[in-house]
Chains A and B, each alone.
Chain A
Amino acid sequence: MPLYRDEGIVLRTQKLGEADRIVTLLLRSRGKVRAVGKGVRRTRSRFGARLEPGMLVDVQCYEGRSLDTVTQAESLASWGEAIARDYATYTAAAAMLETADRLTEEHEPTLQQFLLLSGALRSMAERAHDPGLVLDAYLLRALAVAGWAPSFHDCARCGAPGPHRAFHVASGGTVCSVCRPPGSASPAPETLALLAALLAGEWVVADASDVRHRREGSGLTTAFLQWHLERGVRSFRLVEREQPPGRPPARSALGTAG
C-alpha cells in the first residue's frame, strides 16, 4: 500500500471502536483526507496528543480503500492547546475548523485553504486580534477562495461603482439602488468598511473597529456563509461574540430572502 508524507491540520476527530479515532486532516498538498489513528485514545499512545483538532502535524500515512491510516505524526505547532485555554477563542476556532471541513472536498488539493486556515489558527493561538474578528476574516477569505467573494463596495449585480447602502446576501453583497431586491439589509457604512478590511487583511482598520459594527459584520458574514453551504455550520451556535455595553443582543435583518 502506498505510503505518503505531508503536512496537515487536524480538522476534527471522531471516536472509532474502543480506542481509535478517525482523524480528518487538511493536508498541504493532498487536500482533505480521513485517516484512522490507531490506539490514539489510550494515554500511552505515541501520537494521540498530536492528532487533536487545531494541531499542525507532519504526518505519514498509508493509503487505504476508504480510510487512510496514520503511521507517524510529529507536532509542528500545537495551536489547539493555546486555543482551548480561552473559551471564546475555542468556540471561534471550532467554527473555523468546521467551515474548513465543509468548504473542502476529499482528495482535492487546495493549498490556499490550507494556508488560510493555518494562518488564522496561529493568529488565534497567539491572541493577535479579537478571536471574533479572526473568525470573520477567515470566513470571508475562505469563501473568496471557494469562488464566492462577497462585494462590499461595488454593486454585486451590475457592477456599478460604490459605495452602496443596501446589502443582499443572496445577490453577493452590496447592491445599488436600481438592483436592490426587496428584503435587502442596510448595514452601517462602518460595518461594510470593516468587512472590506477583514477581507483585505487590513488589521489596523479592523482592530480599531467598534463593537457594534463587529456584531453587525459577523451577522452578515455568517449569513453569507450559511447561504453558500447546504447545511448550517453547527459550531456557530456556540460562538461567543462581544456584546456592545448595555445593549441586549438583537437579531439584525440579514437580507437572506429572495
Chain B
Amino acid sequence: MYEGAVQDLIDELGRLPGVGPKSAQRIAFHLLQADPDDVKRLVEALTEVKQRVRFCQTCGNVAEAEQCRICADARRDRTSICVVEEPKDVVAIERTREFKGRYHVLGGAISPIDGIGPEDLRMTELMSRLASGEVTEIIIATDPNLEGEATASYLARLLRPMGLRVTRLASGLPVGGDLEYADEVTLGRAFEGRRLIDV
C-alpha cells in the first residue's frame, strides 16, 4: 500500500477493464514521473470525452451531437439496420466498407447469469425505429458466441413476424470470439455470406 494520492490513483486505474493491480501500479508510477504537459493532455482528453461525447439518440452509438455521424449521414441506406452489441463493433464493421445502412447498438447481449435480460438492452428503441416501415432488412451482428447467438435468436423471434428480412452474419466467423477481433477480410466475407435466420 502507498500513501494517499498515489494509492487513490492506483485504485482508480485498477478499476479500468483489463488493468490488474500490477499494471495499475506501473501506470501510476509512469504518470508520476511523466512530463506535466503530457499528464495535462491526458486529463483534458478524459474531461473532454465525458463532456462532449454522448450516445446517439437513434442508434446508441457514440456521438458528439444528438445523432451520431452515421445516423446523420443522408447518404446511408435507410432500409437496412445492422444490430451490434457495442459501439466498438460499429467501428469494426465500418472498417470493412461492406455495409451501407445504419446501425443499432444494443449495449450488450442477453446473459441470464449476469442478470441481463432483453429489457436491459436497447430492444424497445429498435422496435420504435421499425414502426415507420422504412426498414426492410435487419442484419444481426452480435458476437459469434453463445450469448450473441441467443440474443440473435431472441431478436429473430421478435422481428420475423413483422415481415422483415432477418439475417445473421455467418460464414467465416469462428464461434467463441469477439466481433472486434475479427479482421476486415473475414468480417467483410461474413457480410456477403449472411444467412436468413430460421426460427
Instruction: List residues of chain A with CB under 8 Å of any chain B CB.
Output: 12, 15, 17-19, 40-45, 48-54, 78, 80-81, 83-87, 90-91, 94-95, 97-98, 234-235, 237-239
Contacts and interface: CB of A to CB of B under 8 A. Distances in A.
A90 B199 CA distance: 13
Nearest to A20: B18
B175 interface: yes
A234 B181 contact: no
Contact of B20 (A12, A17, A80): A17
A91 B112 contact: yes
Interface string B57-101: 000000000000000000000000000000000000000000000
B178 A87 contact: no
10 contacts: A12-B113, A17-B20, A19-B181, A41-B178, A48-B174, A83-B146, A84-B150, A90-B146, A234-B112, A235-B112
Contacts of B111: 94
Contacts of B186: 43
Interface string B4-23: 00000000000001101000
Nearest to A91: B112
Interface of B: 17-18, 20, 110-115, 117, 144-146, 149-150, 153-154, 157, 173-178, 181-183, 186
Contacts of B117: 237-238
A154 B178 CA distance: 52
Contacts of B17: 15
Contact of A80 (B146, B178, B181): B146
Nearest to B198: A85
Contacts of B177: 40-45, 48-49
Nearest to A92: B112
B175 A81 contact: yes
Given A18-B18, A42-B181, A43-B182, A237 B146 contact: no
Task: Point out which of B113, B115, B186 has the most chain A C-beta atoms below 10 A from its C-beta.
Answer: B113
A81 B173 CA distance: 14
Nearest to A78: B175
A18 to B, nearest CB: 5
B176 A94 contact: no
A49 B144 CA distance: 9
Given A43-B186, A51-B176, A52-B176, A234 B153 contact: no
B112 A84 contact: no
Contacts of A237: 112, 115, 117
Contacts of A80: 146
The 5 closest A-B pairs by CB, nearest first: A43-B177, A48-B176, A235-B112, A84-B149, A49-B176
A94 B112 CA distance: 6
Nearest to B155: A87
A159 B73 CA distance: 74
Nearest to A21: B176
A97 B150 CA distance: 15
